[in-house]
Chain A
């Protein structure tokens, strides 16, 4: 199975900051990667798919980049609604896997 790692596991930031989260795959997944946002007690919400495509309705302050084994989610000008946990998800193989998550918390 393809293993996914994320860094950092926790990120402390302030409103207005630019933050980046890194996701690494144990082998190349081309661009078959998505990013989700999850708040406590809620279902995950799709933000980015195919590494860099912004899901409809998602604010443009969210962006994704990368290919192969290293990917980045960036949030420009962090807003109060953005404090949440973020997961990457590879779907290149039939055995899909998620990263362990990155919690973005208020500094």
Chain B
């Protein structure tokens, strides 16, 4: 069974940084695209970033470009998201999701980790 478990969320001050992790199990992690999607409290879903199996040709939403960095360690079956220069607008639950291809839907999701940016 596919399982994705996010961690690393918490309370951070504006301008601060945080690193999220997503640990995968139950499938061959090294062959799949992986994504981060976030959801602000009471709002809809927003795609944040995607990374291919090889780790190159990474894509970001304009709202996070230059501030967030996605990465992966296939040996550790883990996905990461480095969040820098955080603002209140980044407060959200961050989900990792398995993608089916370069342009593909997301067939498995983690339970999410909450990031709160507040002074």
A27 within 8 A of B: no
Q: A1-B62, A43-B109, A43-B110 are in contact. Are A98 and B44 (CB under 8 A)?
A: yes
Q: Which residue of A lies closest to B109 (CB)?
A: A43
Task: Indicate whether A99 reaches chain B with its CB closer than 8 angstroms.
Answer: yes
What's the Cα separation between A39 and B111 when bound, in Å? Answer: 12
Q: How does the 8 Å CB contact mask read for B38-72 relative to A, with 1 for contact and 0 for none?
A: 00000011110010000000010110000000000
Interface residues on A, range: 20 to 34
Residues from chain B with a CB closer than 8 A to the CB of A38 are 45
Contacts of B103 in A (CB 8 A): 32, 91-94
- Chain A residues lying within 8 Å of B95, measured Cβ to Cβ, are 43-44
B27 contacts the other chain (CB 8 A):
no
Residues of B within 8 A of A (CB): 37, 44-47, 50, 59, 61-62, 95, 100, 103-112
For this complex, 6 residue pairs linking A to B, each with C-beta atoms less than 8 Å apart, are A89-B47, A89-B105, A91-B103, A96-B47, A101-B44, A101-B45
